[in-house]
Amino acid sequence: MSNAFKALSHPTRREILNLLKSGPKTSGDLTEAFQVSWPTISNHLNTLKDASLVTADREGTSIVYSLNASVLEEVALGLFDLIGHAPAVPKKKGEEPS
């Protein structure tokens, strides 16, 4: 669903996605990276989950959150569709143009 954009509209949520890029994490792990309370992070994670941008899996006593790459890709492709063309085909990492 396209409330993915709404989910992406908050800096903290984008940063959460960025942190999940390096691997799945619990809400406790993530809370340490921010200056807000645990319930607030939990709430953001819920928003991200509703937008299918992350998945949640219980693992024993913890709940582990992971990035849902396919939906992010979908959203990004939607933006490219908006401008009617594919991106300038990046290579591998950070090769910035002169």
The contact set with DNA (CB under 7 A) reads: 6, 9-10, 12, 26-29, 35-47, 56, 58, 60-64
79 binds, among DNA, its own copies, none (CB under 5 to 8 A by kind): its own copies
Q: Nearer Cβ to its own copies, position 57 or 74?
A: 74
Tally of CB atoms within 10 A around 54: 25
Contact 54, 67 (CB under 8 A): yes
Contact 45, 19 (CB under 8 A): no
Residues in contact with its own copies by CB under 8 A are 2, 5-6, 8-9, 11, 14, 17-18, 21, 67, 69, 72-73, 75-77, 79-80, 82-84, 86-91
